[in-house]
Chains A and B, each alone.
Chain A
């Protein structure tokens, strides 16, 4: 009797081993595919980030960098939105080296309305709250109280997650462009994102 129980248990083990045979490679296959897809999406994000930076560089060479920057970023955002499931929130700052003013533009292309809370140091006003619908840009101008570094803090909610990013701009006799990008790509149900900062002085 005892031996028969042993035999029954062995048969059950054999059956379960045969049943899981087909599953042995599934997890690693799925993981490998997901990892490779993420790798490609990561490269794509780098590509897009780099192109925004290039566009900022081109805008800095024009006679009206602030307006051109806004135009290029809006246009490029609309273009890539039509190509793939990119979600972009960008903020650009143009510092006018002649009058200690700086101009902030924000573009929302994240497929949802966003509430962007902007706080700045040593400036008037000290902040602004922008309610930005999808595929829309908004602008604000600030007067700097100092020649020096201004901290700009951005607070917003994306996908239920509150984000805060702080970057700095320099107020001086030199005009400059800065941009902050929050870009994500959604592919195969996965969302991968990155934040990038860009700064450039405008000379000449």
Chain B
């Protein structure tokens, strides 16, 4: 009789352990929220690409942020809205959406050809709703 009881208790114990393991591991681990970092990386890579093409520096020293926006459209995913501004050194006010996370990316420039002019191109990016 005691043996039966021991066996029963042991079975209950093992069932408890297995049941809790199933419970704990049944829901997958939440993926880390890396969306903000991904947008920041995309923004930086897009600006770097323009720089490597020799376009960014010329447009930035000329204060031509609208042209930068037009060219960046093909480099940044369609699911991301963005607006660039050239800070020489102060950044102009830009219209960005309220109640939404807006990601800032800065790309520094020291000048263009023989013109030394330290400034930065700031890209505001946010996810399309």
Contacts and interface: CB of A to CB of B under 8 A. Distances in A.
Interface stretch (A8-16, A144-152, A155-163): A8-16
Interface string B15-29: 011011101100001
| Range, interface on chain A | 35 or more
B36 to A, nearest CB: 9
A14 B19 CA distance: 9
Contact of A13 (B20, B44, B118, B120): B20
| Residue with the highest number of chain B CB atoms closer than 10 Å, among A2, A54, A55 | A54
Contacts of A14: 16-17, 19-20
A203 interface: no
Interface in B73-129: 89, 106-111, 113-116, 118, 120
Contact of A36 (B20, B29, B37, B89): B37
Nearest to B113: A58
Nearest to A16: B20
Please report whether the interface of chain B is mostly helix, strand, loop or mixed according to DSSP. helix
A39 B41 contact: yes
B34 A32 contact: yes
B25 to A, nearest CB: 8
A28 interface: yes
B48 interface: yes
| Residue with the highest number of chain B CB atoms closer than 10 Å, among A4, A10, A21 | A10
Interface stretch (A74-82, A89-97, A102-110, A131-139): A74-82
B41 A58 contact: no
Contact of A6 (B10, B40, B116): B10
A29 B16 contact: no
A24 B31 CA distance: 11
Contacts of A10: 12-14, 16-17
B110 A55 contact: yes
A76 B110 contact: yes
Contacts of B109: 51
Contacts of A29: 30, 32-33
Given A17-B20, A58-B113, 17 more contacts: A3-B8, A7-B9, A13-B17, A18-B24, A24-B24, A25-B29, A39-B37, A40-B41, A43-B41, A44-B44, A52-B110, A54-B111, A72-B116, A75-B116, A79-B118, A80-B108, A83-B120
14 contacts: A6-B13, A7-B9, A13-B20, A28-B29, A29-B33, A32-B34, A36-B38, A47-B107, A47-B108, A51-B108, A55-B116, A58-B113, A75-B118, A76-B118
